[in-house]
């Protein structure tokens, strides 16, 4: 077993004052609520606001996902809700597309139209909790449109809404893709972000390292890539879209993946707060304190959940959730014991939510802000990961930033090398995983947990519903609004498509139609998979 950090730095047997030589409390940490915010943003920590305790929902139809959302609220979800999109909406293509109909409702919510969103949110409050819709980059603008229209239609004050609905354009490097080209994703991200910022809509965008981490990057790499993304995307909004950084700073949120390396995970979160604060203040010249505070949510790592002896995963999730809590965060959605098997069963979801509640309500851990500050080990780890992450970030900047690094395949290579290394470590036993390469038991001794299953009929049902429903829509209104979108999408890249996307969505144009028309206007095929023709004739 190697005694080194996740990113390969040797760990000593004991840490002493000389491991944090030159440590300056005010400069390096500051009190909670004080720049550089290493210790967090709130002087009273979780006493002033507990983290949002949530569980990600999304599987089967919108009606089914709505039922699960309500169930999670009963199970103690508090502060916010979180939904993930299915494979069809992720692209986005429609559920009745030849490829869509085989996978509608798989691994997420099939949010292909405003109708689906209306069904999803039926009986669930839009205000008084954060509404987080995880997405790919390409379906982000549609989700933002759903929220805007829903508020108009049902008389909800848009100013009262907060949450997240859009996403960064680099996820395709990390196996979390839509099928749109990078330049289109870049534009869609900027359009949706600019629209939300200019209209004061408190719907954030996921600029997150969770995907990089889960696809195999180590903690330092994930932190370096995260900073490079934040720097570049915020920079584009300031320089290309002419926005004020103090407005832009409220857009991104980071979903940090917390793994099993307890102290390192805590150090990583502390380093991230400090790095963002410095970027905001020193480079972007932030005028407001708030702009130096990056919103950080936690996802405990699905990748650390093992197929073997799944009950062990409850223990892992507990340790990871605890690290997330001590690290200081705004929200947690934790992995479930059955993550390596399927989507969460009710029992598994309950266990993970209970884990959060046991930590918040029984342990006393949430009573003290940043309780590990001043530990020689923790401060040394915080400095070290920051140092390593800066090296990676610098390298990306030397290549010309994230878009350039992605185009050169640099990020993809980094991911591939990291995932191979991880496999080697597990197989060689350098990385011990109980139940996998140590204390292995024969399959017949496994404890059976309930496993949720998806059926092919469910996808077909969602597809058929969409097919039938499409025929009932006001086609004149749809064609008019899509034609406007088509014309707008032919204009220069900086012309914001959100207003025309919103009109089309309002007329119940589907996600596949909206994206198809944008694609067509940009000289791409209407259907990314070239299986269906454009149903509209725009001359």
Partner 1 sequence: MDEKKIIKVIVSMIGLDEHTVGGVVVSSFLRDAGMEVLYLGTYQTSEMIVHAAIQEDVDVIGISSHGSNYSQVGDLMDLLKKKNMNDVIVICGGTIPKQQIPKLKAKGVAEVFTPQSTSKSIVDYIVSNVKKERMAG
Contact residues: partner 1, CB under 8 A: 87-88, 90-91, 99-100, 102-103, 106-107, 175-177, 179, 215-216, 306-308, 339-343, 416, 419-420, 423, 426-427, 433, 436, 451-456, 458-459, 529
Please state, in angstroms and rounded to a whole number, the distance separating the CA atoms of residues 521 and 402: 26
The least CB distance from residue 6 to partner 1, in Å, is: 17
Helix runs in 136-261, H state only: 140-154, 182-198, 210-214, 219-239, 245-248
Cis peptide before 247 (omega within 30 of 0): no
Residue nearer to partner 1 on the CB measure, 343 or 386? 343
The least CB distance from residue 102 to partner 1, in Å, is: 5
Residue nearer to partner 1 on the CB measure, 436 or 534? 436
Residue nearer to partner 1 on the CB measure, 177 or 354? 177
Helix runs in 75-179, H state only: 87-90, 114-120, 140-154
Residue nearer to partner 1 on the CB measure, 82 or 106? 106
Contact 132, 54 (CB under 8 A): yes
* Residues paired with residue 333 on neighbouring β-strands, in sequence order: 54, 299
The least CB distance from residue 181 to partner 1, in Å, is: 13
Q: How many CA atoms lie within 13 A of 458 on its CB side?
A: 19
Residue nearer to partner 1 on the CB measure, 374 or 450? 450
The least CB distance from residue 2 to partner 1, in Å, is: 19
The least CB distance from residue 435 to partner 1, in Å, is: 9
Residue nearer to partner 1 on the CB measure, 324 or 528? 528
Of 241, 232, 240, 230, which Cα lies nearest the Cα of 291?
230
The least CB distance from residue 427 to partner 1, in Å, is: 6
The least CB distance from residue 403 to partner 1, in Å, is: 20
Residue nearer to partner 1 on the CB measure, 293 or 339? 339
Write b or e for each residue in 398-411: b if 16 or more Cβ atoms lie within 10 A of its Cβ, otherwise e.
ebebbbebbeeebb
The least CB distance from residue 174 to partner 1, in Å, is: 9
Residue nearer to partner 1 on the CB measure, 313 or 330? 313
The least CB distance from residue 433 to partner 1, in Å, is: 7
Give phi and psi for 132, each to the nearest 5.
-110, 120
Residue nearer to partner 1 on the CB measure, 80 or 216? 216
Query: Which secondary-structure segment (H or E) carries 277?
Result: helix 262-278
CB proximity list for 53: less than 8 A, separation 6 or greater: 76, 77, 78, 79, 331, 332, 353, 356, 357, 360
């Amino acid at each position: 077993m190697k005694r080194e950090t996740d990113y390969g730095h040797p760990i000593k047997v004991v840490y002493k004052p000389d491991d944090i030589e030159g440590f300056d409390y005010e400069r390096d940490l500051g009190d909670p609520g004080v720049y550089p915010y290493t210790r967090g943003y709130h002087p009273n920590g979780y006493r002033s606001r507990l983290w949002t305790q949530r569980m990600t929902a999304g599987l089967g139809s919108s009606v089914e996902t709505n039922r699960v959302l309500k169930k999670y609220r009963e199970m103690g979800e508090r502060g916010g809700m979180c939904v993930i999109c299915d494979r069809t909406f992720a692209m986005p293509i429609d559920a009745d597309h030849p490829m869509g109909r085989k996978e509608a409702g798989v691994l997420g919510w099939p949010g292909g139209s405003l109708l689906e969103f209306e069904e999803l949110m039926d009986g669930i409050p839009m205000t008084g909790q954060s509404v987080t819709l995880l997405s790919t980059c390409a379906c982000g603008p549609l989700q933002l449109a759903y929220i805007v229209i829903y508020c108009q239609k049902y008389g909800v004050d848009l100013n009262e809404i907060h949450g997240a609905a859009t996403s960064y354009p680099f996820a395709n490097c990390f196996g979390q893709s839509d099928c749109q080209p990078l330049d289109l994703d870049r534009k869609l991200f900027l359009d949706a972000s600019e629209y939300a910022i200019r209209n004061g809509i408190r719907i954030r965008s996921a600029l997150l390292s969770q995907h990089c981490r889960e696809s195999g990057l180590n903690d330092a790499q994930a932190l370096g890539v995260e900073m490079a993304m934040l720097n570049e995307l915020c920079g584009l909004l300031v320089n290309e879209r002419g926005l004020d950084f103090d407005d832009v700073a409220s857009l991104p949120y980071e979903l940090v993946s917390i793994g099993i390396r307890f102290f390192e995970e805590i150090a990583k979160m502390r380093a991230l707060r400090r790095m963002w604060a410095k970027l905001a203040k020193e480079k972007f010249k932030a005028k407001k304190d708030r702009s130096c505070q990056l919103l950080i949510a936690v996802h405990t790592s699905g990748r650390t959940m093992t197929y073997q002896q799944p009950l062990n995963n409850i223990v892992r999730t507990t340790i990871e959730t605890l690290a997330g809590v001590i690290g200081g965060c705004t929200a947690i959605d934790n992995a479930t014991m059955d993550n390596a098997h399927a989507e969460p069963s009710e029992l598994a979801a309950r266990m993970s939510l209970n884990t959060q509640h046991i930590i918040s309500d029984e342990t006393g851990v949430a009573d003290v802000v940043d309780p590990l500050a001043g530990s020689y080990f923790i401060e040394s780890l915080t400095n070290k990961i920051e140092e390593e992450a800066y090296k990676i970030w610098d390298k990306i900047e030397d290549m010309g930033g994230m878009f350039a690094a992605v185009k050169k395949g640099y990020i993809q290579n980094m991911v591939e090398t990291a995932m191979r290394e991880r496999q080697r470590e597990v197989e060689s036993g350098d990385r011990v995983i109980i139940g996998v390469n140590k204390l292995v038991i024969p399959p017949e001794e496994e404890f059976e947990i309930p496993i949720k299953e998806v059926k092919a009929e469910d996808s077909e049902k969602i597809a058929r519903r969409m097919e039938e429903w499409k025929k009932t829509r006001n086609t004149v209104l749809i064609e008019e609004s899509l034609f406007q979108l088509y014309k707008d999408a032919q204009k220069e890249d900086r012309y914001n498509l959100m207003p025309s996307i919103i009109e089309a969505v309002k007329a119940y144009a589907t996600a596949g139609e909206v994206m198809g028309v944008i694609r067509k206007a940009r000289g791409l095929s209407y259907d990314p998979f070239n299986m269906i023709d454009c149903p509209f004739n725009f001359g």
